[in-house]
Amino acid sequence: MGTGLADHVQQGGASGDQFRTAPLWGVGKRIFFLHDGRATPANGGLVTAILAHSSHGSEAKKVIRRFTQLPASDQQAIIDFLRSL
């Protein structure tokens, strides 16, 4: 999960420094993001959750880097798509 995201909760085959990612179905209806709810509408919601996964050791770093290199309109299109799910 990368530095700072470990919650030490075991879930299925994922240990405390790993996280079993939930399906994206319904993500557009959620208010809180990340496994512990720390990404909220008040601090950026989906974008905060996406960027939080770029921490050291995260398997998502490459994808996050690509997301941040997109033009703002393309980033917004991705957020809009996720909110539609």
Inside any domain, residue 5:
no
* Structural domain range at position 37: 27-84
Q: Is residue 73 assigned to a domain?
A: yes
Q: Average of pLDDT values for 63-76? A: 92
Residue 20 placed within a domain: no
Any domain includes 12:
no
In a domain, 10, yes or no: no
What domain count does the chain have? 1
Whether 1 maps to a domain, the answer reads: no
pLDDT at 69: 95
* DSSP output for 10-49: -BTTB-TT---PPPSTTGGG-S-BSTTS-B-GGGTHHHHH
Per-residue confidence band for 5, with pLDDT thresholds at 50, 70 and 90: low
- For position 4, what pLDDT does the model report? 64
pLDDT single digits (tens) 19-68: 666 667 777 777 777 777 888 888 888 888 888 877 767 778 888 889 99
Decide if 40 is inside a domain.
yes
Q: What is the pTM of this model?
A: 0.59
